[in-house]
Amino acid sequence: MDAINVPDLIFIVVQMLPYQSLIAIDLDNKRPQYQQIVDQILSCIKNGNLQPGSKLPSSRVLATMLKVHRKTVIAAYDELINQGWIVPKARSGYFINSEIEIPEQSGNDKATELFPDKLPVLINTKYVADKMQVSSLSDIPNSYIDDGLPDARIAPFSNLIREFKALCQREYKLKKVNAGSMADSTRLREALISHLSKSRGFLPKIDNVLVTSGAQMAIYLVGQALINPGDIVIVGFPGYGLANYSFQNCSAKVVDVPVDNDGINTDEIELVCKKHTVKAIYVVPHHHYPTTATLSPQRRLKLIKMAATYNFLIIEDDYDFDYHYSSAPHLPMATYPHEGRVVYISSLSKSFAASMRLGFIVASSDLISAMGSVRKNIDIRGDLLMEESVAALFENGEMERHLRRSVNVYKERRDFLCSELDKNLKHAVSYIKPAGGLAIWLKIADQYRVEVLVDGIKKEGFSFNPKAVFGAEYNLNHLRLGFASLNHQEIVDLVQAMNSALKKYNIIKIIKD
């Protein structure tokens, strides 16, 4: 009988390593076949292909894979058992002995690792960076301080899962999953158009909208589709470093313009435009990253007028428009008459949870088409089921209800954090209470260094997003502190840790010239 035709054996074989590739029987070799199997299994153990405790195929299955007699495999297994390399377990099969110690590889062996730390050819220098930190959820500490993210604990995941499950139970919907286009879910785009009309006061056409895997992808697509090498892109300083990095990777010349309490300085922008041809201005009008400043209406109007005068585009990153606490928000510049000179970017990740990677772009249809072509190079289609599920939350009103609840929760947390800071750390930090957003911009008193303060807080058991620290590298002494993801007790614990760090650790003084 050909064991490979037995259904249960087929299932077993497809789940295993390709032993027929790892173990090659040389019919011309005078060494017995069973001994060749022993030698090559030992080699697989020593080089790491077979780990201690891993299960081997049954003698029948391995014999079928190697096209040898079953007794040959049994003889090989018996030899490996006698040498202590494998152990038989009743009714379970054969296993690599979990107690064996694999000798460390020599220096020469290490050089032949399949995936060494260093690539043998040069990497594109644009992308050489610090070693990536790979973490699982279990590696992330509970006391994690972000730079302004929503609280996933209050997101309507149960409702999202309900919609997702409902879609999965409809076969005609599942059939369409493979047909997703570069522009992704039409249903979600229609839901976003309705949402933009109700919340922001403008009504784009469906071919003006592109759904993306988060706002960061949106920024990348805009840069790739818009920027040619040498083009000038103006950004605010301090600003969103990942956007700057994305533009620089398009070989753009990035020019910093200062940001003050009224947002990016439009007078400084005009000075640059008078001297150089500018391709685009990247601006975060609501709750600028990192300072949380809001661009004033006067500067918005001036920016729109300058865009027409100097023929540049405005890349409007409105990532957390939905979170305003003190007054009605200023309308996005995308609602102003702009003749297609505004590219509007926003994020659903900030409205729901950072792990749900959804964003969108609103722009002229030709730019949307160009960005769709760019996207196909890295992501031929989006997550259609997820996008359809989110669209359902917009349609049934759940997303709007969630946003209203979130605004109330985050406003209360902002106020509570400010109260705790005023009671405990007024001597060490100052701030302007943000009118909206998910973070507060703390200026650390001159006698302290933010880097040392953060190190002290870490020693109190907290972990910080390094992007939130704006110290000597920026010629600043600030901390962007996310409050939305912290409940009251977590805020109390954080402020206590900050206070303890200031008292307990040797915070060095800034040496002034």
pLDDT at 133: 53
Residues 359 and 433 in one domain: no
pLDDT at 108: 47
pLDDT at 111: 39
Q: Which domain holds residue 489?
A: 401-504
Query: Could you give the residue ranges of the DSSP H alpha helices within 67-185?
Result: 70-83, 107-110, 157-168, 171-175
Residue 9's contacts (CB-CB under 8 Å, 6 or more residues apart) are 3, 60, 61, 64
Sign of torsion over alpha carbons 274, 276, 280, 284: negative
pLDDT at 46: 83
Q: Are 334 and 342 in contact, with CB atoms under 8 Å apart?
A: yes
Residues 244 and 333 in one domain: yes
| Structure-block tokens of residue 354 | 């950072």
Q: How many CB atoms lie within 10 A of CB 409?
A: 15
Question: Tens place of pLDDT for every residue, the chain, 513 residues?
Answer: 344 444 444 334 445 678 888 888 998 888 999 999 999 999 888 887 888 888 999 999 999 999 999 999 999 999 999 999 999 998 889 999 988 876 655 444 543 566 777 778 887 777 665 544 545 555 566 688 899 999 999 999 999 999 999 988 876 667 666 665 555 788 899 999 999 999 888 899 999 999 998 899 999 999 999 999 999 999 999 999 999 999 999 999 999 999 999 999 999 999 999 999 999 999 999 999 999 999 999 999 999 999 999 999 999 999 888 899 987 788 999 999 999 999 999 999 888 888 888 999 999 999 999 999 998 888 877 788 889 999 999 999 999 999 999 999 999 999 999 999 999 999 999 999 999 999 999 999 988 899 989 999 988 888 888 889 999 989 999 999 999 999 999 999 999 999 999 887 655 444 344
Q: Please check whether residue 406 lies inside any domain of the structure.
A: yes
Q: How far apart (Å, rounded) are the C-alpha atoms in residues 251 and 246? A: 9
Q: Please check whether residue 126 lies inside any domain of the structure.
A: no
Identify the residue whose tokens are 């702009």. Answer: 338
List C-alpha distances in Å: 127 to 249, 250, 256, 337: 8, 12, 22, 38
Q: How far apart (Å, rounded) are the C-alpha atoms in residues 155 and 51? A: 41
Residues 456 and 393 in one domain: no
Residues 347 and 419 in one domain: no
Residue 316, beta-bridge partner list? 283, 344
Q: Please check whether residue 140 lies inside any domain of the structure.
A: no
Q: How many CB atoms lie within 10 A of CB 254?
A: 19
Residues 335 and 380 in one domain: yes
Q: How far apart (Å, rounded) are the C-alpha atoms in residues 291 and 305? A: 25
Q: Are 184 and 387 in contact, with CB atoms under 8 Å apart?
A: yes
Q: Please check whether residue 102 lies inside any domain of the structure.
A: no
Beta strands in 203-329 (DSSP E): 209-212, 232-237, 253-260, 263-264, 278-283, 313-317
Residue 280, beta-bridge partner list? 233, 313
| Structure-block tokens of residue 32 | 């017995």
Residues 465 and 383 in one domain: no
Residue 416's contacts (CB-CB under 8 Å, 6 or more residues apart) are 488, 491
pTM: 0.78
Residues 77 and 190 in one domain: no
Q: How far apart (Å, rounded) are the C-alpha atoms in residues 380 and 376? A: 4
pLDDT at 248: 93
**Residue where a domain terminates, one of 355, 382, 399:** 399
Whether the bond between 238 and the residue before it is cis, its omega within 30 degrees of 0, is yes
For 175-195, letters b (16+ CB in 10 Å) and e give eeeeebebbbbbbbbebbbeb
Q: Are 293 and 259 in contact, with CB atoms under 8 Å apart?
A: yes
Residue 352: DSSP 8-state: S
Residues 382 and 410 in one domain: no
| Structure-block tokens of residue 7 | 């259904």
Q: How far apart (Å, rounded) are the C-alpha atoms in residues 443 and 469? A: 11
Q: How far apart (Å, rounded) are the C-alpha atoms in residues 340 and 348? A: 23
Q: How far apart (Å, rounded) are the C-alpha atoms in residues 62 and 5? A: 14
Residues 158 and 211 in one domain: yes
pLDDT at 134: 47
- DSSP-derived secondary structure for 59-88: HHHHHHHHTS-HHHHHHHHHHHHHHTSEEE
Q: Please check whether residue 130 lies inside any domain of the structure.
A: no
Residues 373 and 448 in one domain: no
Residues 205 and 348 in one domain: yes
Residue 143: DSSP 8-state: S
Q: How many CB atoms lie within 10 A of CB 123?
A: 10
Q: Are 248 and 226 in contact, with CB atoms under 8 Å apart?
A: no
**Residue where a domain terminates, one of 52, 67, 96:** 96
**Residue where a domain terminates, one of 331, 365, 399:** 399
CATH number of 495's domain = 3.90.1150.10
Q: How far apart (Å, rounded) are the C-alpha atoms in residues 266 and 257? A: 9
Q: Please check whether residue 117 lies inside any domain of the structure.
A: no
Residue among 227, 506, 266 nearest 371 (CA): 227
Q: How far apart (Å, rounded) are the C-alpha atoms in residues 430 and 446? A: 11
Q: Please check whether residue 82 lies inside any domain of the structure.
A: yes
Residues 229 and 303 in one domain: yes
Q: Are 398 and 159 in contact, with CB atoms under 8 Å apart?
A: yes
Query: How many separate domains does the chain show?
Result: 3
